Structure 1
Amino acid sequence: MHSDGRRTPTEIIALARAAGLDFINTSDHNTHSSHTAWAGAAAAGLLVLTGEEVTTRTGHVLAVGTDPGTFIDWRYRARDHRFARFARAVRQAGGLVVPAHPHAGCIGCAWKFGFGEADAVEVWNGPWTADDEMSLASWDATLSGATGERRLPALAHSDYHRDPDRIGGPQTVVLADDLSREAILAGLRAGRAYAAESSAVRVDFTAVTPRGAHAGIGETLAAPGPDTEVVVRLSVTGAEGCELRLVTDQGPALTVPAAASLEWRTTPARTAYVRAEVRHPSPTPPLPGPPAALTNPILLRP
């Protein structure tokens, strides 16, 4: 309602709670004027992170979870070489820098600044489209050479503006220690999160070694050696009829049609990372169907 939305904060709070959400990030275009309008959210049991969708001339970027009252300027483009300054301002205000819909086709929407200043990237924006498939593929291509702090987490957002947009479709599920701004942002920054089409979808994704070393989404499994067997397990609820897929640094590794769980074995020597996709049946084979869920990777290290 403070940029191009058509709902009041009270209405959005009610819709978010009905969608099963515990938190949202408010990100009006190029303004922070809505930050003071969310006083009723806590009483309704909803955590509201304040932010902004910084709509530059060569791409949109989300300032996620910034201090209330923070404004990030938008009046520049990639060739001006000014973005690093504003990315630092987002982090200084406690937030995350998240390029939005990086392959969108609308004028000025596609991301042209590179990902050197990003803390995460949006790979799923609203209803799944070819743009999202491109965003997912380009994000996956960054993972093979990524290590440590520079592994870029993937996020999903409903980008709710007005009907028929669906708030919470999709959503980012954060494996946080508690429901607080600090814990949510820490979980997002670490990639301890997965994307889901709704709150009905639940994903459990782990990797373990015979001696009990364990890692979950966004974590690194430290195995005793490069040839140590690693067992990867995926189980999903709320996505009946979907196929389960595992994707590694070498591409798709396993696909199981219409399943609720799978188990797969590998070693750190063969696999640098593994991530999971839960896909609906494809209406146009051999192209994949739209996802019900996508995870951030588990890294395997000897």
Structure 2
Amino acid sequence: MHSDGLNTVRELVDRAIELGLDFLAVTDHNTNTHHEDLAALSDLPIILIPGEEVTTYWGHANTWGLREWVEYRCADQGSMAAVQRFIAEKGGLFSINHPKCVGPPWLFNGWEGFQSMEVWQAMWRFYNWESLERWDNLLQRGERVVAVGGSDTHSIPPAEPRHPHGLAEPTTWVYADEASEAGVLAAIRAGHAFVTDSPERGSSLVISADENGDGRYEKMMGDEVGGGVVRFRVQVSGGFERRLWLIADGEPFDIIPLETNEATLDFSLDVSGRRYVRAELRGRRGRPERGEVVWAMTNPIWVAQE
């Protein structure tokens, strides 16, 4: 209710707790007046992350972890770069939002310098393949941008629904060293994260790597491995009658039909000359003639560059 949403902050937080979320970021357009509401709810069993959706005529971007207002009147690449520097100096995270035709799209010339990108916003069929393609293009150029998902929720019951999806659709999952705001944001910075369609439908997807051959698979999403042949492991939940896509540098090198709900797949790959390896879980949803959607996706494991 602080910008264009129909719910109180308390209603959003209560729903997040009901869904079993461990953390929730709330970002209103060009204001931080909701931060006071979040602070008043700090005793609840959930990590609440304050933010702002910096909303311009040329694109939107989220800040996370700041307790102050961020300038949004950006009319060119220079002014947006100044906002980037301000957020970096304050220790916040900055993420490009919904860079797709129905986003609204990202029209600034610069894509560099952002720590993360909302690669998946709302339901997958809301043109998220466009954001995915733009993200993959950045990764291939050597930009280590972390993929996150955001529901962009503007209304949930008891307010009148404005869209067919709800809070946490999609959901960003992180491997955090501690259960705190700092821990969650550090995990996102590190790329220790994957995204699924929701917290309720049982999908998960994790890729790890055994760089030194000791069987420990000590490297996870966001980490870096050296060149040569590397052993990888992908762990899937919610895979029945879906397909696992294994992707390197934007191109699938294997697509594996899954016949069980839970699956663990090990494979070796010569990563010499490549930049990254990641995974997606794809499958049918709704009418079969509409093709597959993404049910889950990982961030990349990076390959060290000489």
Q: TM-score, normalised by structure 1?
A: 0.88
**Structure-2 residue corresponding to 1:292:** 295
**Structure-1 residue corresponding to 2:208:** 206
Superposition map of 1:182-197 within 5 A? 182-197=182-197
**Structure-1 residue corresponding to 2:106:** 111
Superposition map of 1:126-137 within 5 A? 126-129=122-125, 131-137=127-133
**Structure-1 residue corresponding to 2:223:** 219
Classify 1:6/1:253 alpha carbon distance in 2 versus 1 (closer, same or farther; 3 Å): same
**Structure-2 residue corresponding to 1:56:** 56
**Structure-2 residue corresponding to 1:179:** 179
**Structure-2 residue corresponding to 1:43:** 43
**Structure-1 residue corresponding to 2:91:** 94
Residue 43 of structure 1: how far off its partner (Å): 2.4
* Distance in 1 between residues matched to 2:198 and 2:297, nearest whole Å: 12
The answer to whether residue 138 in structure 2 is matched with residue 145 in structure 1 is no
The answer to whether residue 160 in structure 2 is matched with residue 156 in structure 1 is no
Alignment partner of 1:20: what SS? Answer: coil
* Distance in 2 between residues matched to 1:65 and 1:104, nearest whole Å: 28
Classify 1:240/1:7 alpha carbon distance in 2 versus 1 (closer, same or farther; 3 Å): farther
- Count of aligned positions: 289
The 10-residue stretch of structure 1 (151-160 or 229-238) with the greater mean CA deviation from structure 2: 229-238
**Structure-2 residue corresponding to 1:82:** 79
Letter in 1 for 2:270: T
* Distance in 2 between residues matched to 1:72 and 1:37, nearest whole Å: 18
Superposition map of 1:223-238 within 5 A? 226-227=227-228, 229-238=229-238
Residue 301 of structure 1: how far off its partner (Å): 3.6
Encode CA deviations 1:19-61: one digit per residue, 9 max, x unaligned: 2211111100111111001235332211111110011010001
Letter in 1 for 2:265: L
**Structure-2 residue corresponding to 1:268:** 271
RMSD, aligned α-carbons = 2.1
Identity of aligned residues (%): 31
Alignment partner of 1:293: what SS? Answer: strand
The 10-residue stretch of structure 1 (8-17 or 210-219) with the greater mean CA deviation from structure 2: 210-219
The 10-residue stretch of structure 1 (157-166 or 132-141) with the greater mean CA deviation from structure 2: 157-166
Q: TM-score, normalised by structure 2?
A: 0.87
Alignment partner of 1:51: what SS? Answer: strand
* Distance in 1 between residues matched to 2:211 and 2:93, nearest whole Å: 33
* Distance in 2 between residues matched to 1:220 and 1:158, nearest whole Å: 29
Encode CA deviations 1:58-106: one digit per residue, 9 max, x unaligned: 000111221x2x1112223236x21111112222332111010011336
Letter in 1 for 2:71: D
* Distance in 2 between residues matched to 1:54 and 1:207, nearest whole Å: 36
In structure 2, stretches of 5+ residues that fail to align are 156-160
Letter in 2 for 1:111: W
